[in-house]
């Protein structure tokens, strides 16, 4: 590789790294729009959950066929990209297959594994393309996937297919050039999959083969760098965020809801009990009950939104959505992410940010969606990366109930009954066990 080529390679690498740094910094600012939330408890348990759910993809295997296909994509992405290390060394040093002389037969074994995973990724990507576009699977045709979200998924799959083909073509032409004794190409025998397509190139001239091999090499390295940048703008950001998202996920039982500390303190003071605040400190002033916009949510909620895979398993399992109601937990997460991005972009540009006259509740997510939720946690259980749409829904309900008094009349009647009678039904607490007295009277007859 010439000095000019190495300089071009270095320049491309630096540009991609700079763009990635800028984007990652932006994402961090967008996520930190949310309020503070302490998720540092039980680090050993959190690491265990991350290993099982994020790395081991435990929850994916509830649907075995898509899970196996996704596993090929996942492992292929991780392991095949280990080859990038050799690409970088070759690109900077001007050498070719830097590790081959040091690893001997293990190099052939490693390349065969890479090629096997490349073929598996290629097949899985084709099947996923067919499932998304030719088979009318409901969760891939929902309204929130119209336009860019649906196109984004197809772009990623097409990119995967193209990059995997580039690997195989590069290896096949590389070996065809080695057979001809061309340049610095190293003879590597025993590559199974690339040897299958090698006959397509064997009769070509050395210069033609060299051009094809170099185009495939450059396409693959530039494609990988472009893919890494693109992923940060795509739903496939979960490739990176799944790990921290699962680590910081809620470890409490799914039916357990957190009380609002501010409300608990108010009730304690009304009952003459001490407030749940450090000694000597006054209870913090309540800025807002619940959530109207992204800054009212916790940073974990916003991280959840950016980690959303848009797979639709949450919506597929939602009983409200099954009955035709407007609620889609996937849309809740997509809307939260879109609003956080909009606000962060506005702040970066010196714009109004959160004061732009819009809010997450109302402009993105409607009350009709929020009120349709049954709080059953089916969406939380279904999510393969432990995203919690219910936490956002509950915070918005709290805002509607406590700030706007905007809950449906039937709910208000229930709230009043709970306040006065300590149950959803309107009868005196002293009459609560009358039914038992009647049973006892009937037994004595």
Here the CATH number for the domain that contains residue 417 is: 1.10.1060
Residues 50-72 have a mean pLDDT of: 87
Residue 404 to residue 397: CA distance in whole angstroms: 10
Q: Confidence class of residue 48 from pLDDT cuts 50, 70 and 90? A: very high
The domain total for the chain is 2
Is 48 within the bounds of a domain? no
Tell me, yes or no, whether 233 and 307 share the same domain.
Answer: no
Q: In this structure, are residues 271 and 250 in contact, taking their beta carbons and an 8 Å threshold?
A: no
Is 279 within the bounds of a domain? no
Residues 415-436 have a mean pLDDT of: 82
Beta strands in 195-310 (DSSP E): none
Query: Over 60: is that where the pLDDT of 18 sits?
Result: yes
| Phi/psi-derived region of residue 272, left when phi > 0, alpha when psi is between -120 and 50, beta in every other case | left
Is 324 within the bounds of a domain? yes
Query: Over 80: is that where the pLDDT of 66 sits?
Result: yes
Joined tokens for residue 398 = 């709290």
Tell me the average pLDDT of the chain.
Answer: 87
Tell me, yes or no, whether 313 and 181 share the same domain.
Answer: no
Tell me, yes or no, whether 381 and 238 share the same domain.
Answer: no
- Of 25-39, 184-198, 383-397, which range is least confident? 184-198
Residue 227 to residue 79: CA distance in whole angstroms: 15
Q: In this structure, are residues 116 and 190 in contact, taking their beta carbons and an 8 Å threshold?
A: no
Tell me, yes or no, whether 301 and 329 share the same domain.
Answer: yes
Instruction: Name the DSSP letter for residue 201.
Output: T
Query: Over 90: is that where the pLDDT of 339 sits?
Result: yes
Range of the domain at 71: 3-31+63-247
Cα 394 to its chain centre, rounded Å, is 21
Tell me, yes or no, whether 193 and 302 share the same domain.
Answer: no
Structure confidence at residue 284 (pLDDT):
60
Query: Over 60: is that where the pLDDT of 341 sits?
Result: yes
Query: Over 60: is that where the pLDDT of 398 sits?
Result: yes
Tell me, yes or no, whether 120 and 229 share the same domain.
Answer: yes
Query: What percentage of the chain carries pLDDT values higher than 90?
Result: 40
Tell me, yes or no, whether 99 and 232 share the same domain.
Answer: yes
Tell me, yes or no, whether 241 and 304 share the same domain.
Answer: no
Tell me, yes or no, whether 267 and 220 share the same domain.
Answer: no
245: helix, strand or coil: helix
Tell me, yes or no, whether 179 and 233 share the same domain.
Answer: yes
**Better-predicted residue by pLDDT, 48 or 110:** 48
Structure confidence at residue 134 (pLDDT):
87
């Amino acid at each position: 590789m010439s000095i000019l080529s190495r300089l071009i390679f270095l320049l491309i690498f630096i540009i991609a790294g700079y763009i990635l740094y800028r984007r990652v910094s932006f994402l961090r600012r967008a996520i930190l729009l949310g309020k503070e939330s302490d998720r540092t408890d039980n680090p050993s348990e959190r690491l265990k959950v991350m290993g099982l759910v994020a790395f081991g993809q435990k929850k994916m295997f509830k649907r075995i066929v898509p899970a196996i296909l996704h596993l090929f994509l996942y492992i292929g992405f991780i392991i095949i990209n280990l080859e990038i290390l050799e690409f970088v060394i070759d690109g900077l040093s001007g050498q070719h297959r830097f590790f081959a002389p040091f690893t001997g037969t293990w190099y052939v074994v490693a390349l065969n594994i890479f090629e096997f995973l490349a073929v598996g990724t290629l097949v899985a990507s084709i099947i996923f393309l067919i499932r998304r576009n030719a088979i009318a699977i409901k969760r891939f045709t929902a309204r929130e996937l119209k336009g860019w979200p649906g196109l984004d998924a197809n772009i990623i799959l097409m990119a995967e297919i193209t990059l995997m083909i580039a690997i195989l073509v590069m290896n096949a032409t590389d070996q065809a050039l080695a057979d001809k004794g061309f340049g610095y190409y190293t003879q590597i025998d025993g590559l199974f999959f690339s040897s299958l397509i090698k006959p397509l190139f064997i009769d070509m001239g050395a210069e033609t083969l060299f051009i094809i091999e170099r185009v495939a090499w450059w396409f693959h390295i530039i494609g990988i760098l472009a893919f890494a940048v693109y992923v940060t703008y795509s739903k496939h950001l979960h490739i990176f965020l799944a790990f921290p998202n699962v680590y910081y996920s809620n470890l409490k039982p799914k039916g357990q809801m957190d009380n609002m500390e501010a409300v608990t303190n108010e009730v304690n003071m009304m009952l003459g009990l001490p407030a749940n605040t450090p000694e000597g400190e006054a209870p913090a002033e309540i800025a807002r009950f619940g959530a109207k916009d992204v800054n009212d949510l916790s940073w974990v909620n916003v991280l959840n939104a950016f980690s959303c895979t848009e797979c639709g398993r949450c919506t597929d399992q939602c009983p409200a959505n099954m009955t035709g109601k407007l609620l889609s937990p996937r849309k809740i997460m997509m809307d939260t992410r879109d609003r956080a991005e909009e606000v962060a972009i506005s702040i970066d540009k010196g714009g109004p940010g959160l004061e732009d006259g819009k809010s997450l509740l109302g402009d993105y997510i409607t009350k009709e969606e929020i009120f349709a939720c049954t709080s059953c946690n089916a969406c939380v259980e279904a999510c393969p990366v432990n995203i919690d749409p219910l936490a956002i829904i509950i915070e918005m309900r709290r805002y509607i109930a406590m700030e706007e008094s905007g809950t449906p009349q039937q709910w208000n009647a229930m709230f009043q009954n709970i306040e006065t009678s300590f149950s959803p039904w309107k009868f005196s607490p002293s009459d609560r066990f009358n039914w038992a007295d009647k049973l006892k009277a009937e037994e004595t007859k």
